[in-house]
Structure 1
Amino acid sequence: MAASAPHLVHGMGTTLEPPTWPAITHGEAAAALARFPAAGQLEALEWHSPRPFSAAARVRTTRGVFVLKRHHPAVRAPAVLAEEHAFIAHLAAGGIPVPEILLTDDGTSAITVGEWTYELHRQGAGLDLYRERLSWTPFFSVSHAHAAGASLARLHAASRGFLAPARAVQPLVASFTILPSTDPLAATEAYVAARPALAAFLERRDWRSAVARLFAELGQGVSDALAGCEEVWTHNDWHPSNLLWSADGQVETVFDFGLADRTCAVHDLATAIERTAIDWLELGQGRDATIGHPETARALLAGYATVLPLDRGKVEAVLRVLPLVHLEFALSEIDYFAGVVGDVAEASVAWEQYLLGHADWFLAPHGQAFLHATERGALG
């Protein structure tokens, strides 16, 4: 019998890599599922996710198909997952199609087994069309982008009334403390000081000057653009592989709320464009002038506006925030790689290529052209 292919996951580039976290085995899946009474008995592991920051598997049981997700406790402890699950439950009550979260034998939604944290979701309705696609890769069509924009607006409408505070300091969360600040460098100092592994990584770099330069060149008007925004919990990782699709190209299920936190609609819209309208994985490969897709950004905004109005001021705010919207999560990624994983090389990629590289693309003529083309098309 031929050996099965090794399990590989998405890395920071375009190639698949060995996983940081080992694939879920049949035995551990069975042990975890035993804690969720409604899950039934494990029959098969059908697929292992290539997502890099946790391990996940689609499992078939005597009671259906589920997604079992396993986390390192330094990334997600049960109490931390309970924050996400409360938001998901709120959205479900508001009519947003999200996967059902299974409860454990003691009525909680996440468990610790051995050294790991587990959560279990019922497989959502729809086609997983983007299952193998990397983050920062575009929609298959502008019609998908339009449908995703409308779905995001429905999520924002439903999120109102969820009054949980912002999440505590932890890695891999898209928090909202730097961009709204009238003193973003001081806010960055506070963000770094609260994360010892991030601080240790950055102390070998002239990071204060680098961040000050970005805000001097791209940050004018950002805090003003965010000042009047209603703070709500948002998804913060809106890309097509976090959506399940109908055969006619509509969004049937929204999932993966790992980055959810209290931000605002403008911030989340800017994040959605940043995730889907620019081929960031091609940055520095000789075609920087063509990696931006303003038609995708315009379609997202147009779809959003079919559900919630987008006036000139809000569109301008989104585009003002967009060049730096990735900054806080980039710092969170560095904290994860430098602290939880202990991978300085990947932390350096997050700093140099993600945090600095993405911002610098917007300063170049092609980045400015992308912003202008998006604005012209969105405003008619």
Structure 2
Amino acid sequence: MSEIKAAEVQAHGMGTTLVRPDWAPITLEEANQLLSRYPDLEPASALTWHSPRPFSSATIAATSSESLFIKRHHHSVRDKAGLTEEHRLIRHLRDRGIPVSDIIAGAGGQTAFEIGEWTYEIHRLAQGLDLYRDAVSWSPFLSEAHAYAAGDALARVHLAAEGYDAPPRAGRQLVSSFSIFGSANPRAAMAAYMGQRAALSDYIRGRNLEQDLDTVLMPLYSRLEPWLGKLEPLWTHNDWHASNLLWSDAELAGGTSSVETILDFGLADRTNAVYDLATAIERNTIEWLALEESDCQDVVHYGQLKALLDGYESTRPLSSEEAAALVAMLPLVHVEFALSEIDYFTGIVGSVSNADIAYDSFLLGHAKWFASPAGQQLLAFLEQRYGIHS
């Protein structure tokens, strides 16, 4: 296996083109410094792949007997305590038969190590094919069969997560939470959210957030509010995209693909099942980047949307209240992660241009799209599926 040179590594940007990564790739020397803290692991001889994901650095390290997945976070994004929160959830799901990644413990039984300004974790290579390794955000499934399998797997995660009662994550970077529009007073909750994030607060002073709340977001909340009390709190994945799933090769042999492993719980938090399902719809079945770059209106993959919901409800049927909440939540489900991205871009990597894209195209643009004919058609499709009369 040949080693990938650091200069060759590129990352996903805010569009469809690859860009120079914000975080330098992990080096072989760095990987072996970390591996020295794992008595049961051998040194690495080469790094054979670097992840294009933008918010951290990750690589596959080859040793004489196995390959390992190493991920590095800047401490301002994920410290040891924050990473351990994710690992506890993964361990809970693994204990209940969910096929999640196998996190390796090092010295002292630790699964997260801080070295200098970095926080590290190591996973064994998971089972399954990484068919979406190079897929950018909001790209669709390869097939309706994949959409169905993804829906079924998500429902199984939700059933397994019941009873996991860890408190919500407090003020973490790059977490997809539901504290603002999941509350009875979104304005006060928004103020509290800003109060924990100085860089976001500074940026928002130059925008018209109060006006955007009044004209774009609060009207959407008024439809969701009646259903909030019907949604049970639940720890959820919150980044359910095909690229965070590994797949069987059965389809290649004429069979039906299934999800073999579920990856990347970095955005996980205590939200609710409907929030996670709405996120899965928003991430996989609406091709936002195609809309933004070509002004194309035909961006919803309805066959995949139906298959995703069919797969989910084959394992965990939605109640009538959850179905109504799903329709109302979809136009708002992206908001808190958009705010978290803005905080990250302004406070950590110093990219106001990316923060502007996150605010204008992601935070506002996606919400506004649901008032367009195409967005209304999508909501009507869901209303018809569940017999909802708006």
Whether TM-score is above 0.5 comes out as yes
Amino acid at match of 1:125: Q
Specify the alignment match of 2:200 in structure 1: 198
Q: How does 1:138-157 map onto structure 2 within 5 Å?
A: 138-157=140-159
Specify the alignment match of 2:303 in structure 1: 295
* Contact 1:337/1:344 (<8 A) preserved: yes
Specify the alignment match of 2:314 in structure 1: 306
For each residue in 1:150-185, what CA deviation from the matched residue of structure 2 results, as whole angstroms up to 9, or x when unmatched? 000000000011111001102100112111122212
* Contact 1:58/1:65 (<8 A) preserved: yes
* Contact 2:230/2:321 (<8 A) preserved: no
For each residue in 1:314-370, what CA deviation from the matched residue of structure 2 results, as whole angstroms up to 9, or x when unmatched? 222111100010001100010111111111111111101100011111111110101
* Contact 1:294/1:374 (<8 A) preserved: no
Specify the alignment match of 2:47 in structure 1: 45
Q: Structure 1 residues 308 and 42, CA, compared in 2 at 3 Å: closer, same or farther?
A: same
Distance 1:378 1:228 in 2: 16
Specify the alignment match of 2:253 in structure 1: none
RMSD of aligned residue pairs (Cα, Å): 1.6
SS state at 1:298 partner: helix
Amino acid at match of 1:317: A
User: Normalising to structure 2: TM-score of the pair?
Assistant: 0.94
SS state at 1:309 partner: coil
Specify the alignment match of 1:262 in structure 2: 270
Amino acid at match of 1:343: S
* Contact 2:104/2:123 (<8 A) preserved: yes
| Runs (5+) with no aligned partner, structure 2 | 251-256
Percent identity among equivalent residues? Answer: 48
* Contact 1:57/1:67 (<8 A) preserved: yes
Distance 1:160 1:97 in 2: 16
- 2:347 is the alignment partner of 1:360: no
Specify the alignment match of 2:254 in structure 1: none
Amino acid at match of 1:158: A
Amino acid at match of 1:314: E
Q: How does 1:218-229 map onto structure 2 within 5 Å?
A: 218-229=220-231
Specify the alignment match of 1:97 in structure 2: 99
Once the two structures are TM-superposed, the CA of residue 373 in structure 1 deviates from its matched residue by 1.9
* Contact 1:226/1:266 (<8 A) preserved: no
* Contact 2:217/2:367 (<8 A) preserved: no
Q: Which runs of 4+ in 1 moved over 3 A?
A: 377-380
- How many residue pairs get aligned? The number is 378
Residue of 343, 367, 373 corresponding to 1:335? 343
Distance 1:16 1:278 in 2: 21
Specify the alignment match of 2:122 in structure 1: 120
Specify the alignment match of 1:376 in structure 2: 384
* Contact 1:302/1:378 (<8 A) preserved: no
* Contact 1:298/1:377 (<8 A) preserved: no
Once the two structures are TM-superposed, the CA of residue 215 in structure 1 deviates from its matched residue by 2.7
Q: Structure 1 residues 148 and 378, CA, compared in 2 at 3 Å: closer, same or farther?
A: farther
Distance 2:304 2:295 in 1: 18
Distance 1:273 1:196 in 2: 31
Residue of 161, 164, 168 corresponding to 1:162? 164
Residue of 242, 252, 256 corresponding to 2:260? 252
Distance 1:375 1:36 in 2: 52
* Contact 2:45/2:62 (<8 A) preserved: yes
Q: How does 1:273-288 map onto structure 2 within 5 Å?
A: 273-288=281-296
Amino acid at match of 2:269: D
Specify the alignment match of 2:80 in structure 1: 78
Distance 1:325 1:88 in 2: 23
- 2:184 is the alignment partner of 1:176: no
Distance 1:344 1:324 in 2: 23
SS state at 1:177 partner: coil
For each residue in 1:131-162, what CA deviation from the matched residue of structure 2 results, as whole angstroms up to 9, or x when unmatched? 01012100001110110000000000000111
* Contact 1:180/1:227 (<8 A) preserved: no
| Runs (5+) with no aligned partner, structure 1 | none
Once the two structures are TM-superposed, the CA of residue 377 in structure 1 deviates from its matched residue by 4.1
User: Normalising to structure 1: TM-score of the pair?
Assistant: 0.96
Specify the alignment match of 2:58 in structure 1: 56
Once the two structures are TM-superposed, the CA of residue 218 in structure 1 deviates from its matched residue by 1.8
* Contact 2:93/2:160 (<8 A) preserved: yes
Distance 2:339 2:372 in 1: 22
SS state at 2:289 partner: helix
SS state at 1:363 partner: coil
* Contact 2:69/2:122 (<8 A) preserved: yes
Amino acid at match of 1:9: A
Distance 1:224 1:260 in 2: 25
Once the two structures are TM-superposed, the CA of residue 64 in structure 1 deviates from its matched residue by 1.6
- 2:26 is the alignment partner of 1:24: yes
